């Protein structure tokens, strides 16, 4: 798709950085693709002031450079005051910090709706087109809280438009925006899959490259170890339904990692279950190739990238029915409208015993490419720029 070059400012709270290189890589991929088409993309990634002498994620935030160039993208990280228990005020301070960095854009994109959507009133006052993009918890968690839900509704109502990575999210945003007086509807802009990286591979070769032994089934859980991903349920499902000799690997990190490790010890599964932390995308592709199944036990989702990637690798998925997951898996045997560990465990055993054909799995995502995603995004932004 050919359009006149646009000057874009992307305000986001979710973007890779030197200390957190895997945080929001899907967002970076989208904007790198748009910049490759000749558009000017400025990324503003405001960060809270971080307390001194504190490690972990706060230490990584404190160490983030104020300016960074990632590929063709200029990333600015202004600081703002973030106070516990003040989400609305924090969002407004986030927005003001981002606003001061903007360099004459044609369109502002609030990528990851909360807190970036707080920019919408500022853009509206200046007659500047503004698109709010939802990805998952930034809409679902916020809309579930009465005070924040009503505020997000007002931000959507004064924005020029909104979009999301799943139709389920678009519908939630439509309801929020229209409840505050908006008359238009959102647009679905799904993420793509890098089919040059995520494709079927021989299990034995992938396991050898990863230094893994054993011929038994391997179940993979990929994602942050946080409440809404419910990794403890994933462990219960594995313990309930996986055959003897099967292994489980958690790829990801987060505040529940200690609880997961403790549960592994309590169940005596140290020899069968491992936590490997976050890994780079090229290494993640090897884990998919080594695995027999991806397990996803989330309570809320947008349209999970891990599901798209596993299917592209020809690997089956067992997922709880959450958000946009059903938009990919449909009414297949891989989706279960239950959070009962025994029911999920039985389905896990069935899928490991008789997995769907890899070619049929790839068919589910073959049309989800980054090229198509960028086409849709470019058309939406060009429409907003034209008013």
- Per the listing, tokens 């290494």 go with 283
**Interval 13-29: pLDDT, tens:** 999 999 999 888 889 99
Identify the CATH number of the domain in which residue 274 sits. 3.40.50.2000
Q: Which residue has the higher pLDDT, 387 or 321?
A: 321
Average pLDDT over residues 114-122: 97
Q: Is the pLDDT of residue 103 over 60?
A: yes
- Choose the weakest-confidence range: 36-50, 91-105, 322-336: 322-336
Contacts of 1 (CB under 8 A, 6+ apart): 375, 378, 379
The whole domain housing 114 covers 7-192+369-385
- Per the listing, tokens 């798709």 go with 1
- The reply to whether 13 and 87 lie within a common domain is yes
Where would I find the H helices in 64-187?
Answer: 87-99, 113-116, 120-126, 137-143, 146-158, 167-179
Average pLDDT over residues 354-378: 94
- The reply to whether 313 and 230 lie within a common domain is yes
Structure confidence at residue 142 (pLDDT): 87
Q: How confident is the model at residue 143 (pLDDT cuts 50, 70, 90)?
A: confident
Q: How confident is the model at residue 3 (pLDDT cuts 50, 70, 90)?
A: low
Average pLDDT over residues 265-284: 94
For the chain, the average pLDDT equals: 94
- The reply to whether 186 and 238 lie within a common domain is no
Element containing residue 73 per DSSP (H, E): strand 73-76
- The reply to whether 148 and 292 lie within a common domain is no
Q: How confident is the model at residue 1 (pLDDT cuts 50, 70, 90)?
A: very low
CB 252 within 8 A of CB 283: no
- The reply to whether 172 and 312 lie within a common domain is no
Pairing outcome for strands 293-296 and 218-222? parallel
Structure confidence at residue 193 (pLDDT): 93
- Give 220's Cβ-side CA count (13 Å radius): 27
- The reply to whether 156 and 268 lie within a common domain is no
What domain count does the chain have?
2
Q: What percent of the chain has pLDDT over 70?
A: 99
- The reply to whether 89 and 46 lie within a common domain is yes
Per the domain annotation, does 215 fall within a domain?
Answer: yes
Q: What is the rounded CA–CA span in Å between residue 325 and residue 298?
A: 10
**Interval 175-189: pLDDT, tens:** 999 999 998 899 999
Q: What angle do CA 141, 301, 180 make, to 5 degrees?
A: 45
- The reply to whether 173 and 220 lie within a common domain is no
Average pLDDT over residues 317-330: 92
Average pLDDT over residues 148-152: 93
- The reply to whether 252 and 125 lie within a common domain is no
- The reply to whether 122 and 183 lie within a common domain is yes
Q: What percent of the chain has pLDDT over 90?
A: 86
**Interval 178-226: pLDDT, tens:** 999 998 899 999 999 999 999 999 999 999 999 997 789 999 999 999 9
CB 317 within 8 A of CB 310: yes
The secondary structure of 18-53 as a DSSP string is SSSTTTTHHHHHHHHHHHTTT-EEEEE--EE---TT
Contacts of 364 (CB under 8 A, 6+ apart): 311, 328, 329, 330
- The reply to whether 185 and 230 lie within a common domain is no
Contacts of 164 (CB under 8 A, 6+ apart): 133, 134, 135, 139, 170, 172, 173, 186, 188, 189, 302
- The reply to whether 334 and 378 lie within a common domain is no
Average pLDDT over residues 113-127: 97
Average pLDDT over residues 108-119: 97
Contacts of 53 (CB under 8 A, 6+ apart): none
> Closest Cα partner for 99 from 90, 111, 88, 108?
108
Pairing outcome for strands 218-222 and 130-134? unpaired
**Interval 33-77: pLDDT, tens:** 999 999 999 999 999 999 887 888 889 999 999 999 999 999 999
């Amino acid at each position: 798709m050919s359009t006149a070059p646009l000057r874009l400012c992307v305000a986001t709270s979710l973007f890779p950085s030197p200390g957190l290189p895997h945080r929001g890589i899907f967002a970076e991929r989208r904007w790198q693709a748009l910049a490759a088409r000749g558009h000017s993309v400025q990324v503003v990634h405001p960060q809270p002031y971080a307390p001194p002498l504190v490690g972990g994620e706060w230490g990584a935030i404190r160490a983030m450079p104020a300016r960074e160039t990632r590929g063709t993208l200029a990333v600015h990280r202004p600081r703002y005051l973030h106070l516990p228990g003040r989400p609305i005020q924090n969002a407004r301070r986030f927005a003001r910090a981002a606003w001061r960095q903007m360099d004459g854009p044609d369109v502002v994109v609030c990528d990851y709706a909360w807190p970036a959507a707080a920019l919408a009133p500022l853009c509206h006052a200046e007659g500047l087109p503004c698109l709010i993009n939802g990805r998952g918890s930034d809409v679902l968690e916020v809309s579930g809280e009465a005070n924040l839900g009503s505020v997000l509704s007002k931000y959507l109502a004064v924005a020029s438009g909104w979009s999301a990575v799943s139709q389920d999210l678009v519908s939630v945003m439509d309801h929020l925006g229209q409840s505050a007086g908006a008359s238009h509807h959102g647009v679905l802009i799904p993420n793509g899959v890098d089919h040059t990286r995520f494709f079927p591979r021989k299990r034995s070769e992938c396991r050898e490259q990863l230094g893994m032994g054993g011929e038994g089934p391997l179940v993979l859980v990929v994602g942050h170890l946080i409440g809404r991903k419910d990794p403890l349920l994933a462990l219960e499902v594995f313990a309930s339904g996986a055959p003897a000799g099967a292994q489980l690997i958690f790829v990801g990190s987060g505040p529940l990692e200690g609880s997961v490790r403790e549960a592994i010890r309590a169940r005596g599964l140290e020899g069968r279950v491992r936590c490997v932390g976050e890994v780079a995308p090229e290494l993640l592709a090897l884990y998919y190739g080594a695995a027999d199944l991806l397990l996803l036990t989330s309570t809320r989702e947008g349209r999970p990238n891990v599901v798209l990637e596993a299917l592209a690798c020809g690997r089956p998925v067992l997922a709880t029915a959450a958000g946009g997951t059903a938009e990919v898996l449909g009414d297949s045997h891989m989706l279960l409208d239950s959070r009962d560990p025994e029911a999920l465990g039985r389905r896990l055993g069935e899928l490991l015993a008789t997995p769907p054909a890899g070619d049929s799995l790839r068919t589910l995502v073959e049309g989800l490419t980054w090229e198509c995603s960028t086409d849709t995004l470019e058309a939406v932004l060009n429409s907003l720029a034209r008013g």
